[in-house]
């Protein structure tokens, strides 16, 4: 598992209205590991910077907002301000640890009359 590092993550979440934006902002402000954030309502994106694991933030937002959160891009920043090395790492989207049971398809089931 990766450790907590200084990074910026771009996430996609469905923001329908201004109330959704306010709710996301309130949750991000209350997260201690998040230093700065930008909410782009029209693009349905959130840019979060701080010292955290992006998957942890995505899971927390998903639980609090009850909406799907998709991690689009992760940029790990180096600790020194020399501006030198920056890594780009694309983390795979969050997948739940359990599988939903498969229900029989009602369309393919023959009707008995």
96 within a domain of the structure (yes/no): no
102 within a domain of the structure (yes/no): no
111 within a domain of the structure (yes/no): no
Q: What is the pLDDT of residues 71-102, one digit of tens each?
A: 999 998 875 554 444 455 566 666 666 666 66
36 within a domain of the structure (yes/no): yes
21 within a domain of the structure (yes/no): yes
- Provide the domain count of the chain: 1
Q: Which structural domain, as residue segments, surrounds residue 13?
A: 5-89
94 within a domain of the structure (yes/no): no
CATH number of residue 34's parent domain: 3.30.70.100
Whether the model clears a pTM of 0.85, i.e. scores above it, the answer is: no
Cα distance between residue 48 and residue 40, in whole Å: 11
Report how far apart, in Å, the C-alpha atoms of 2 and of each of 55, 65, 71, 93 are.
10, 25, 16, 16
DSSP 43: T
């Amino acid at each position: 598992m990766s450790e907590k590092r200084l990074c910026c993550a771009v996430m996609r979440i469905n923001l329908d209205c201004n109330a959704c934006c306010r709710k996301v902002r309130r949750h991000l402000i209350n997260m201690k590991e998040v230093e700065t954030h930008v909410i782009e309502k029209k693009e349905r994106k959130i840019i979060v910077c701080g010292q955290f694991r992006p998957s942890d933030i995505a899971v927390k937002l998903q639980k609090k907002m009850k909406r799907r959160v998709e991690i689009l891009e992760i940029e790990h920043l180096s600790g020194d301000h020399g501006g030198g090395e920056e890594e780009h790492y694309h983390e795979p989207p969050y997948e739940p640890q359990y599988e939903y049971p498969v229900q029989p398809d009602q369309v393919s089931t023959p009707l008995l009359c």
